[in-house]
Structure 1
Amino acid sequence: MRLLLAALLALSGPASAAAESAHVLNRGCFVHLTTRAWFTFDPAAAFDAVSFMVTGNVYEPLIAFKSAEQTDEFLPFLAAEVPTRANGLLSEDLRTYRFPIRKGVKFHEGAELTPEDVRYSLLRFMLTDAQGGPSALLLKPILGVYSTRGADGKVSLDFKAAAEAVKVDGDAVVVRLAKPDPVFLKVLASLPLVVCRAWAAEHGEWDGTEATWTAFNDRSADKSYLDGHMNGTGPYRLSEADGASGKLVLVRHAGYWRAPAALEHVYLRTVPGKAVRLSMLENGDADAAYFEAQDYFDVSGLSDVQVVDSAPGSGLGEVLFFTFAAEPGSEGLGSGALDGKGAPADLFSDLAVRQGVAYALDYERYLRRGLAGRGRRTGSPIPEGLLPSQGRPPYRFDLDKAREAFKKARGGAVWENGFTVTLTLSPSNASRMALAELVRDGLARVNPKFQVLIKTMSSKELYAAAEAHRLPLFIAGYYSDYPDARSFANGMLHGAGYYPRAQRFSDSKLDGLVEEASSVADPEKRRAAWRAVVRRGAELVPHLTTYEPSRFTAARRWVKGFDSDVNVSNMGVDDYPYFYAYSKE
């Protein structure tokens, strides 16, 4: 093991533990371990955890949350003031926001931040609109649509409407919403998106004009210069990156508009094996590392390592997704027929089938096997911390009820003929495999003719296959885009959300309830509206939520600021490392 560690650290940059004192190793360098590499560096496309972790340390938002606990209050960031009615920067009709842009801020390449850069970045974020990307986060509140394209896949958005909605007025950027939105500032505070317009255009990106924007719409992220290069205003700039090996180096931005960061270099390393991550952290070859909830007892037993429990409410844990209409011929369907050797493409469009699966899962065994007992049962895709008093989960482990449901499916044909279907997951989280095995075993106990084959693929491949509707059954996780119930409801239940689009699931009544709840400003009425959404979702069972894991973060004791409640770009709530808050002492 020591030979492996030495080889890893020889490639990583900072010296090994033997080269420094036993107290604080490599004081100006920080080594963070994760289990997989990033997908992209483009802030208009970064929608996965590792990509966002990287971009959130290089790019910055207009405003920030006051803290990880106070997500209804905001602080100025790249904007010099937070718009409110009291300061006159928010209109009386609650639709027009004026953001004075901070002066003296420099991009890493040396150019000074201007209001035009901010306007360009907001428009670029919306108009890029790649399939599976985050553009809807701003498209919906600003322009009232979830996509720039119609049902036929062709561009339907009027550029002039976008240009009118986001304008520069002197030293400020003015944003006009389609209608009042009670969580717009939360969304904006969660997006590190500001790029340099001149730099982007100079490297072949959109030049900001109406004439050229459609050429950059729904473009694969890897075709963008920003996919592999960064130029933000944040405390760190990109020094080097190797996506194949998952190695990345960030260097302190000496000209940062706040005080320079305490850490000079940050090294991100991809180390899939838990045993290696444990050893590197304990030996001081790493300063911090990602671990799953089930690893808590292993990590808490390490010497000179601090373990900080995370606040609940930012993630759902592992979710089992049903694709209502998989692409015919998909590998996971086998024969494609209800003949015991495969499954029809629309098998999971049958409510009775979905209910049968829900009753066949041994939830408590998953808690023990997959999460080492550290988790809270979820009854909906909205965490209890964001929506209290949801009541008991709608499904529990009951093989008799599972058999009863399956016997109703397709006039009894599912029960009589059986099926074989593939369940796909990424191996980056061990808890997903535990869940997959319990789904497989539970269905086999319901009826030996029900066969589930388990297949693993990389996270990037899994998301691409899911978006192409080629996975009839898959497991994935979900973290909040911003700290509000709407983030989960839109992403998990609304027909325009990421997962429902991948599943080809939609329900007009449910969509209407989500839209209604989204627009309610009164907190108590808003919670009541979200509970109505949850009840409708439970009736339809588009997916199975399991447990919200009791997450934690782990770092060497010499890391200071690790338990900080700083919440820039919502990274504090989602437990992504914000390296500016760290030091080593």
Structure 2
Amino acid sequence: MKKLAILSTMLTLSVALAVAPKDTLVVQESADIPTMDPGVTYDTASGSITENLYETLVTYSGASLTKLDPLLATKWTISNGGKTYTFDLRKNVKFHSGNTMTCADAEYSFERNLVVNSGDSGNWFIAESLLGTGANAKDDKTITWARIDKAVECNNAGQLVFTLPKVDPAFLAKLAYTGQSVVDSKYAIGLGEWSGKEADWQANVGKDLQNSKLSQAPSGTGAYKFVRKDANAFLATAFDGYWGKKPAIKNVIIQKVPELAARQQAFLRGDADLIEGAGRAVDEEQIKGKPGVVWQDGFPSTTATGFFMNQNIKANGLLGSGKLDGKGIPANFFSDVNVRRAFSYAFNYQQYITDVQKGQGKQRTMLLPDTFPGYDAKVKTYKYDATQAKAYLQRAWGGQVWKNGFTLTANYRAGAVASQTAMEILKKNIEALNPKFKVNIQSKPWSEMLNDSRDGKEAMIIIGWAPDYADADNFLYTFYSSNGYYSPRSNWKDASVDKWLEQARSTVNQAERNRLYSLVANRAYEQAPYILMPAPVGYAFMRDNLVGAAKANFNPMISFAYTGTFWKELSKK
């Protein structure tokens, strides 16, 4: 069979797969690819594609979360008290279209992100750095074209210059995020995207780029270029004009295979090199130790997850009677710290680690990965303690909670077994304290739960955060600041915490930032705005002929988390 026929068969999934060729990486997963436009990439499925088709100015050095290496930039200088960044750009870099990358492309890319900055993209955090606000011009009328144009410019020497309104210690890390990749401006404009000029900038503010023309036909500088995509699969091939080292793997195929059993069978036959698993319990039983499989364990987790206890619930449908009469809860039920502390003591952390994580879990002191600078291991943690839970609920709402009881309705993501189990653990332990306590749990589609929680309509949910950039600010400001991305989901506010987080954003002194983050963590322990879920111990598995996916090279900031590295670093033997 000709190779072209093999690729076509794999792409359409119309017949049985052949063993993956040596020059082809085959990946199977359940998710689709929402977008291939960097300007709106804000999920791992999209990120794992865009980070290989496009490139950023800087990238993480090997497995490090703190060291950054030049990529499309060759070097940079910081001046003006930490508010001006000047980048020299790599010469003779080609886009997949054949156009040569210039400083104008980089300027266009960042200005486009600032102009569009839709709610479904990660551009809010680059806007915070360059404009002083995470909003776009529709939501913040003080944002003008002049402000955007001044924030990022090309000087007469062809260097890219960023001018920040104030110091941002996380700015360089933000530039490594795949959403800040350099796009082909001439090509994009030719497709009908924003012109890059003032004349039509307002018409593009907040524009939905998910299915943009650039998403449908991307052109980056990455080692791989897009070939085609349909409902079932994606195909890319090595870019002959790539400025860097030529990749060993010529073709990359990402197949959408919703059925777990089908993915497992393809992987064990060697038809797929990598697949999306089903969690440690299933993967250890079905995959680990099988012929042709390499299993790697002990990876650090860079996500943080918690129970959100919403202190201002806006959905009447979840409140029952809306009163503390045993038949419901008031909208501000969780505003009493005694309730939050009681729920924190009622969750059995060790049971979750044993039952869900098969003993491979770790309780954290704060909603921050313990590998990140700023993590304080000395902060106290809650342990399962029914006596303490009972005592705090007896105090809650002046004794009315214990006397009258309550009925709480909480949603969890449909199909998320771990979240369901966590909810069941908490439900059982709360209800065991008092026969008047009732916790109803129910599944809900992920998209609906995301939207409703964003609007403050969920009473209590479990949700996590994966980092956009490797800096504590991305987690702590997100979870704990009243101006953070997750604030509408919890509606918790503490003036001291807000002050400390703003101070940490305005200094590059890491010791001072660590001190401030410890203050935040200790205050959060006292106020218990979240129940902190134990962090899993990461693992990965792959076919034994895949080279370059070693644990030592794994960087969790890379979206292609099956290997923690870019496709160009992989080969097959």
TM-score (norm 2): 0.89
CA drift of 1:266 comes to 1.9
Between stretches 290-299 and 379-388, larger displacement belongs to: 290-299
Equivalent residues in 2 for 1:293-304 (5 A)?
Answer: 293-295=280-282, 297-298=284-285, 299-304=287-292
Secondary structure of the structure 1 residue equivalent to 2:512: helix
Task: Please name the residue that 1:521 is paired with.
Answer: 508
- Aligned partner (choices 88, 101, 114) of residue 113 of structure 1: 101
- Counterpart check, 1:76 vs 2:64: no
Task: Please name the residue that 1:61 is paired with.
Answer: 56
The amino acid that maps onto 1:146 is G
- Counterpart check, 1:581 vs 2:569: yes
Equivalent-residue separation in structure 1 for 2:396 and 2:216 (angstroms): 48
- Aligned partner (choices 135, 145, 155) of residue 147 of structure 1: 135
Q: Structure 1 stretches of 5 or more lacking a match?
A: 1-7, 84-88
Equivalent-residue separation in structure 1 for 2:344 and 2:564 (angstroms): 31
- Counterpart check, 1:43 vs 2:38: yes
- Aligned partner (choices 92, 112, 127) of residue 104 of structure 1: 92
The amino acid that maps onto 1:364 is Q
Task: Please name the residue that 2:347 is paired with.
Answer: 361
- Counterpart check, 1:544 vs 2:531: yes
Equivalent-residue separation in structure 2 for 1:552 and 1:336 (angstroms): 44
Between stretches 29-38 and 49-58, larger displacement belongs to: 29-38
- Aligned partner (choices 109, 116, 122) of residue 110 of structure 2: 122
The amino acid that maps onto 1:493 is Y
The amino acid that maps onto 1:358 is S
CA drift of 1:531 comes to 0.8
User: CA 1:569–1:378 in 2, change beyond 3 Å: closer, same or farther?
Assistant: closer
CA drift of 1:28 comes to 2.0
- Counterpart check, 1:209 vs 2:197: yes
Equivalent-residue separation in structure 2 for 1:544 and 1:568 (angstroms): 24
- Aligned partner (choices 165, 179, 202) of residue 151 of structure 2: 165
- Counterpart check, 1:251 vs 2:237: yes
User: CA 1:484–1:333 in 2, change beyond 3 Å: closer, same or farther?
Assistant: same
- Counterpart check, 1:380 vs 2:375: no
Equivalent-residue separation in structure 1 for 2:480 and 2:471 (angstroms): 14
CA drift of 1:175 comes to 0.7
User: CA 1:468–1:249 in 2, change beyond 3 Å: closer, same or farther?
Assistant: farther
CA drift of 1:576 comes to 4.5
CA drift of 1:453 comes to 3.1
Task: Please name the residue that 1:5 is paired with.
Answer: none
1:305-356 alpha-carbon deviations (Å, 9 max, x no partner): 112235425222x421222223233x44445444444433332233222222
The amino acid that maps onto 2:53 is V
Equivalent-residue separation in structure 2 for 1:481 and 1:574 (angstroms): 17
CA RMSD of aligned residues (A): 2.9
Task: Please name the residue that 2:273 is paired with.
Answer: 287
The amino acid that maps onto 1:82 is K
Secondary structure of the structure 1 residue equivalent to 2:356: helix
1:293-315 alpha-carbon deviations (Å, 9 max, x no partner): 44453332222111223542522
Equivalent-residue separation in structure 2 for 1:548 and 1:450 (angstroms): 29
The amino acid that maps onto 1:363 is Y
Equivalent-residue separation in structure 1 for 2:440 and 2:219 (angstroms): 44
The amino acid that maps onto 2:48 is M
Preserved CA contact (<8 Å) 2:58 2:70 = yes
Preserved CA contact (<8 Å) 2:321 2:327 = yes
Task: Please name the residue that 2:467 is paired with.
Answer: 480
Q: Structure 2 stretches of 5 or more lacking a match?
A: 1-7
The amino acid that maps onto 1:32 is V
CA drift of 1:543 comes to 1.8
- Aligned partner (choices 555, 561, 565) of residue 548 of structure 2: 561
Equivalent-residue separation in structure 2 for 1:372 and 1:350 (angstroms): 34
Secondary structure of the structure 2 residue equivalent to 1:371: coil
CA drift of 1:491 comes to 1.8
Equivalent residues in 2 for 1:411-422 (5 A)?
Answer: 411-422=398-409
The amino acid that maps onto 1:65 is Y
TM-score (norm 1): 0.87
- Counterpart check, 1:312 vs 2:305: no
Equivalent-residue separation in structure 1 for 2:315 and 2:463 (angstroms): 22
Secondary structure of the structure 2 residue equivalent to 1:380: coil
The amino acid that maps onto 1:37 is D
Fraction of identical pairs, as percent: 27
Preserved CA contact (<8 Å) 1:15 1:26 = no
User: CA 1:495–1:321 in 2, change beyond 3 Å: closer, same or farther?
Assistant: same
CA drift of 1:215 comes to 2.9
